[in-house]
Amino acid sequence: MFNPKDIIDILAENVKKTKNPFGVNKQKINSWYVNEDLPDKGEYLLFTGLMYQMIPYIEAVTSQLGKIEDSKFSKYSSLGRFVPRSLTNISLNALISKNNVDFSNEVLKSIITLLKNSNIDFLYSPDLDQYSGILLYDLGDEKYFKAHARTVANTLYQHNISKIITVDPHTTYALKVLYPKYIGINFEVYTYFELLNLTGDLEKEVVLHDPCFYGRYLELSHVPRNLLKNMGVEIKDILRNGKFTHCCGGPAESLSPKLASKIRENRVKQLKETNKLILTMCPICYTNLRKSTSNIMDLAIFLKDCVTT
């Protein structure tokens, strides 16, 4: 396991400098929209929070951390500091996997298709779409989380944004719960699947992996279930679901890839008991769980495939 302070200080410094935890230019991370026909006016702002777009970077860093975890290098704090810092600045771009970039782009483009299909009046502005700072909050760095969140919330407020569509549980929690609590700015926040209006007769069966933030903190587990039921999809629920869902292990990856893998194995075992396609709705959950199973899909891609075929 790495020294948490080393990792947190690097992440905080990067967020301060570049507004994302990897110290990478935002245009490099956020380019999925370039060839999309996206409205610049609308009732809701689509705010991705860059979580899906950061997946290739999270994977690149954690795969390297995994190689040196518990090796002689990680035992020396000075080297422990040096290694991750160099990863975020120098060699990171060479480690980005095209598959991870393609996955993130496909999810976001699928969400656009779904919002348009349900006639949701939304706009997208790359300038307003920013990282929420949630990782700093989860690691206990309240000071730098608040500083970052304040700039994000103020920018949205200054642009008269009041209604927001989010695409992942972590950003949703930050905007819906943490920003009002810590910054005092309230937005009307909906995750994309809360706004969709879809029906069908699909006769498919799936098992849902509820992310901790949708299942417990935001109590939204019933929403994707109702949506899927209306489309004719049968849900084979396992014991650990909804409010009592089981973590995917992903959040442990920045400090201990080994620990993340142990938790993931336990969760995948529970999900595999159903023998059904596993649906996730969080980029961290998807990326972590798919290391132990290929029978897994993001909810957005699943829904998009259903409405377009």
Partner 1 sequence: MRIINPNLENKLKKFGSDTAHICFNCGTCAAICPLFETSFPRKFMRYIQIGAEDKIMDEKLELFKCLHCGLCTSSCPKGADPGEVMLGLKRFVLDKLRRNQDV
CA atoms within 13 A on the CB side of 13: 11
Name the burial class of residue 258, with classes exposed (0-12), middle (13-18) and buried (19+) by CB atoms within 10 angstroms of its CB: middle
User: Which residue, 3 or 113, has its beta carbon nearer to partner 1?
Assistant: 3
User: Which residue, 105 or 256, has its beta carbon nearer to partner 1?
Assistant: 256
Our CA dihedral for 99, 104, 107, 113, rounded to 10 degrees, sits at -110
Residue 261 is a binding residue for partner 1 (CB under 8 A) = no
CA atoms within 13 A on the CB side of 195: 26
Q: Which of 102, 142, 205, 273 binds partner 1 (CB under 8 A)?
A: 142
Binding mask 46-75 for partner 1 (x = CB under 8 A): ------------------------------
Residue 77 is a binding residue for partner 1 (CB under 8 A) = yes
User: Which residue, 166 or 245, has its beta carbon nearer to partner 1?
Assistant: 245
Residue 202 is a binding residue for partner 1 (CB under 8 A) = no
Q: Which of 15, 152, 212, 238 binds partner 1 (CB under 8 A)?
A: 212
Q: Nearest approach, Cβ of 247 to partner 1 (angstroms)?
A: 4
Residue 8 is a binding residue for partner 1 (CB under 8 A) = yes
Residue 252 is a binding residue for partner 1 (CB under 8 A) = yes
CA–CA separation, 114 and 106 (whole Å): 12
SS3 40: coil
Residue 256 is a binding residue for partner 1 (CB under 8 A) = yes
CA angle 10, 16, 17 (to 5 degrees): 90
CA–CA separation, 192 and 114 (whole Å): 9
CA–CA separation, 183 and 147 (whole Å): 9
Phi, psi (rounded to 5 degrees) for 123: -125, 160
Listed ranges 17-25, 139-147, 200-208, 286-294: which one lies at the site for partner 1 (CB under 8 A): 139-147
User: Which residues bind to partner 1, rule: CB under 8 A?
Assistant: 1, 3-6, 8, 77, 138-143, 212, 216-217, 243-247, 249, 251-252, 255-256, 259, 262-263, 266-267
